[in-house]
């Protein structure tokens, strides 16, 4: 069972993420989809943790995960994108390979972490990616760092620290 500090940490992370949301533009449908996305993320995190922990060799599970995911995504792409699909694949091959390698490194490491560490701690640490996005937005795209963003980032960092420390 999570400790009180871990629960407070999750609350801080949620509050921090909400500080980034333009709530005045969020309708009921948007809120419903956001909650659904959160629920699905929680579900696949638990399923992924169960799968990678049941596997005799974690790297075998991770490799098969990516092979099957890649085959399914390629099949969907080829089905949906009828005209010009191969020319698009060739034109975007470099970006596609780069994105694939980045996905393998980022999600593969998250799967490995799910085998080795408490699921709640890994899920909380994964939310730290929001902080990286804020940094990239501010430094590469000159997005303004408002007090609201700084407060949200601080809440996420505090919450992740609590969850990681008391998980």
User: What is the longest distance spanned by two Cα atoms in the chain?
Assistant: 55
Using alpha carbons, select from 115, 156, 117 the residue that is nearest to residue 133.
156
Query: Tokens 């596997």 appear where?
Result: 55
The pLDDT of residue 84:
66
The pLDDT of residue 119:
87
- Token code pair at residue 147: 């007090």
Pairwise CA distance, residues 110 & 53, whole Å = 13
Using alpha carbons, select from 129, 127, 131 the residue that is nearest to residue 149.
131
143: DSSP letter = -
CB 124 within 8 A of CB 164: yes
How many C-beta atoms lie closer than 10 Å to residue 49's C-beta?
20
* pLDDT tens track, the chain, 167 positions: 788 998 899 899 888 888 887 777 778 888 888 889 889 988 999 999 999 999 999 999 999 999 998 889 888 877 776 666 677 777 888 888 898 888 888 888 999 999 998 888 888 778 778 788 888 888 999 988 889 889 999 999 999 888 888 87
The pLDDT of residue 47:
93
């Amino acid at each position: 069972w999570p400790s009180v500090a871990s629960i407070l940490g999750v609350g801080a992370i949620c509050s921090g993420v909400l500080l980034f949301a333009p709530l005045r533009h969020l309708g009921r449908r948007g809120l419903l989809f956001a909650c659904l996305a959160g629920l699905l993320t929680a579900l696949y995190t638990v399923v992924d943790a169960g799968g990678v922990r049941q596997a005799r060799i974690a790297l075998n599970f991770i490799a098969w995960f990516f092979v099957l995911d890649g085959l399914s995504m390629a099949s969907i792409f080829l089905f949906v994108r009828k005209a010009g699909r191969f020319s698009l694949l060739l034109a975007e091959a470099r970006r596609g390979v780069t994105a694939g390698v980045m996905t393998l490194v980022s999600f593969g490491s998250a799967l490995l972490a799910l085998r080795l560490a408490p699921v709640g701690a890994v899920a909380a640490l994964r939310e730290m990616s929001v902080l990286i996005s804020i940094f990239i937005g501010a430094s590469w795209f000159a997005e303004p760092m408002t007090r609201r963003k700084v407060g949200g980032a601080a809440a996420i960092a505090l919450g992740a620290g609590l969850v990681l420390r008391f998980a």
